């Protein structure tokens, strides 16, 4: 069974700070998805990364896929209160996705 | 754009009662899933379906049942509710097994 570990579990920062959260797997995976879940809602896809070493940018969010395809990171520049939420990574199997436990991010004004 | 719709949003059950959580999607997705989310534990897969008439167990299927008679609907049944089933339940759908998931907004269930 592939395990996904996310760190840190919880992060509380002030508006304007930068942060990085991590997602690590016990084995190589073919692709990885990042989701954000806001309170009271379901997760929403942010990005899918498929190529080792790949970097994708989504406004102030930068996603990186490790060269060895066993890890990924999400960097947020100048965090805003609207970035508050649970960040989940997920890797695909044949028919289903396996999710990490998530990083809960709280950005205070 | 309805996407994935779950009903009800909230429900309180007594131990031993039964209920059905409804899920419907209008994107013509073949794959549908039920997850439960407990604090600090991420999303755990209960059941999934790769098409109408086909269902399969996920990581935590005990105490639940599903059916998939149409592409659109994937109801989750709790027959004898137990306190351990207190959780937030999410239904999701996707085009294929590795495709991004589209989630509903969840059903918060409390069993007392």
Q: For A23-47, how does the pLDDT look when each residue is reduced to its tens digit (9 = 90+)?
A: 999 888 888 999 999 989 999 999 9
Q: What is the token pair recorded at A77?
A: 């520049």
Q: What is the token pair recorded at B37?
A: 């989310």
Please give the backbone phi and psi of residue A43, each rounded to the nearest 5 degrees, phi first. -60, 150
Contact yes or no for A3/A71 (Cβ under 8 A): no
Give yes or no for B64 touching A (CB within 8 A): no
Question: Nearest C-alpha of chain B: how many angstroms from A55?
Answer: 18
Average pLDDT of span A54-60: 95
Q: Do A40 and B105 touch (CB under 8 A)?
A: yes
d(CA B50, CA B70): 11
d(CA A1, CA B108): 29
Contact yes or no for B19/B81 (Cβ under 8 A): yes
Question: Nearest C-alpha of chain B: how many angstroms from A96?
Answer: 5
The residues of chain B scoring below 70 in pLDDT are 1
Q: Is the pLDDT of residue A85 over 70?
A: yes
Please give the backbone phi and psi of residue B85, each rounded to the nearest 5 degrees, phi first. -95, 5
> What pLDDT, on a 0 to 100 scale, did the predictor assign at position B29?
96
Q: Do B101 and A43 touch (CB under 8 A)?
A: yes
> How far is CA B72 from each of CA B9, B76, B97, rounded to the nearest angstrom?
19, 13, 17
Q: Is the pLDDT of residue A73 over 90?
A: yes
Q: DSSP string spanning B29-83?
A: -SEEEEEEE-TTS-EEEEEEEEETTEEEE-S--TTEEE--SSSSB--EEESS--G
Nearest to B108 by CA among A82, A98, A39: A39
Using CA atoms of A90, B61, A104, A29 in order, give the dihedral in degrees to the nearest 10.
-20
């Amino acid at each position: 069974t592939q395990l996904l570990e996310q760190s840190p579990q919880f992060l509380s920062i002030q508006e304007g700070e930068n942060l990085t959260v991590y997602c690590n797997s016990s084995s190589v995976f073919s692709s990885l998805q990042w989701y954000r879940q806001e309170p009271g809602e379901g997760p929403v896809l942010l990005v899918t990364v498929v190529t080792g070493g790949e970097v994708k940018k989504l406004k102030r969010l930068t996603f990186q896929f490790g060269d060895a395809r066993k890890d990924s990171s999400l960097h947020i520049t100048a965090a805003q209160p609207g970035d508050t939420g649970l960040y989940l990574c997920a890797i695909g199997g044949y028919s289903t996705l396996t999710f990490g436990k998530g990083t809960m991010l709280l950005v205070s004004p | 754009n309805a996407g994935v719709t779950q009903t009800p949003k909230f429900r309180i059950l007594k131990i031993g009662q039964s209920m059905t959580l409804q899920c419907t999607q209008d994107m013509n997705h073949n794959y549908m899933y039920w997850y439960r989310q407990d604090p600090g534990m991420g999303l755990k897969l209960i059941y999934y379906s790769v098409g109408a008439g086909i269902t399969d167990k996920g990581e935590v299927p005990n105490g639940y049942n599903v059916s998939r008679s149409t592409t659109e609907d994937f109801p989750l049944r709790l027959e004898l509710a137990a306190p351990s089933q207190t959780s937030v339940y999410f239904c999701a759908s996707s085009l294929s097994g590795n495709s991004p998931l589209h989630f509903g907004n969840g059903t918060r269930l409390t069993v007392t």
